[in-house]
Amino acid sequence: MSFNTFGHLFRVTTFGESHGVAIGCVVDGCPPRMPLTEADIQPYLDKRRPGQSRFTTQRREPDQVKILSGVFTDETTGEQVTTGTPIALVIDNVDQRAKDYSEIKDKYRPGHADYTYDAKYGIRDYRGGGRQSARETAMRVAAGAIARKIVPSMTVHGALIQMGPHSIERARWNWDEVERNPFFCPDAEKAKFFEGYLDEIRKRGSSVGAVIEVVADGVPVGLGAPIYGKLDGDLAAALMGINAVKGVEIGAGFAAAALSGED
């Protein structure tokens, strides 16, 4: 299995399985002498950490990150800084319950990658999906925390704007609300609606899709390269690599087909 690495100048390789010993990543391309400690990364992992509401997986994982390499304590300042070499990060899997998945050992779950993994490799880790688990995204978050320090003038915000057929009211958009509800929704009224709506979906033993909007400000000019290294293409590839993502729109997206040149 290859294709576990993303990026060009800043490269991230993730590894590990959902119910293995640990998950981790190696970040390559970080400049030297940049202050970096586990405390710089942990707050972002805490936001993602499972089990914080009834609407997320109930798996209990502290998600405490450890920096294994790529940093050194500056003897002059006493500050821990990067050395310019690969930075290895690891998170131990604490809440391992492989036995919970024994019933699907010989069954394929619709909508999961169980069958495709088995067909391609002739073997699959059925414990929580193994490598295909969304737990892998914890390491993307950890790597992203490092990326934020490299380009501090750039900000990235995300918010839930639709669940099933129900969309937020953009007139009520408030970024502060994103941190106040379990859905990271910028519309306080719609967030309350989503609670009841999702409860009903769960009672039926069903599920529903959603739409996330991401806004990046202060992006440096000139990122990407023509023809096959376009920024749009790289962003789409990274986002489509997230579990269950089935569509990415940039700007107006498909709605641009209805716009005129003046628009």
Model confidence over 133-165: pLDDT tens digits? 888 999 999 999 999 999 999 999 999 999 999
For position 104, what pLDDT does the model report? 77
Residue percentage of the chain with pLDDT more than 70 = 97
Q: What is the value of pTM for the model shown?
A: 0.89
Residue percentage of the chain with pLDDT more than 90 = 70
For position 111, what pLDDT does the model report? 79
Q: What is the pLDDT of residues 7-29, one digit of tens each?
A: 989 999 999 988 889 999 999 99
For position 100, what pLDDT does the model report? 67
- Please provide the DSSP assignment of 213-228 as one string: EEEEESPPTT-SBTTT
For position 106, what pLDDT does the model report? 80
Confidence of residue 1 (pLDDT cuts 50, 70, 90): low
Whether residue 81 contacts residue 34, with contact meaning beta carbons closer than 8 Å, is answered with: yes
In whole angstroms, give the CA distance from residue 161 to residue 178.
11
Backbone φ/ψ region at 29: left (φ over 0), alpha (ψ -120 to 50), beta: left
Full set of structural domains in the chain with CATH = 1-153 (3.60.150.10)
Task: Classify residue 148 as exposed, middle or buried by CB count within 10 Å of its CB (0-12, 13-18, 19+).
Answer: middle
Residue 259 CA, distance from chain mean position = 32
Whether residue 132 contacts residue 242, with contact meaning beta carbons closer than 8 Å, is answered with: no
Q: What is the pLDDT of residues 188-209, one digit of tens each?
A: 999 999 999 999 999 999 999 9
For position 149, what pLDDT does the model report? 95
For position 145, what pLDDT does the model report? 97
Backbone φ/ψ region at 115: left (φ over 0), alpha (ψ -120 to 50), beta: alpha
- Sheet containing 87-92: give its strands across: 5-6, 11-16, 22-28, 87-92, 65-67
For position 98, what pLDDT does the model report? 65
| Strand ranges (E), 31-138 | 65-67, 71-73, 80-82, 87-92
Contacts of 99 (CB under 8 A, 6+ apart): none
Backbone φ/ψ region at 255: left (φ over 0), alpha (ψ -120 to 50), beta: alpha
Token couple for 1: 């299995």
- Over 90: is that where the pLDDT of 128 sits? no
Q: What is the pLDDT of residues 215-244, one digit of tens each?
A: 999 998 999 999 999 999 999 999 999 988
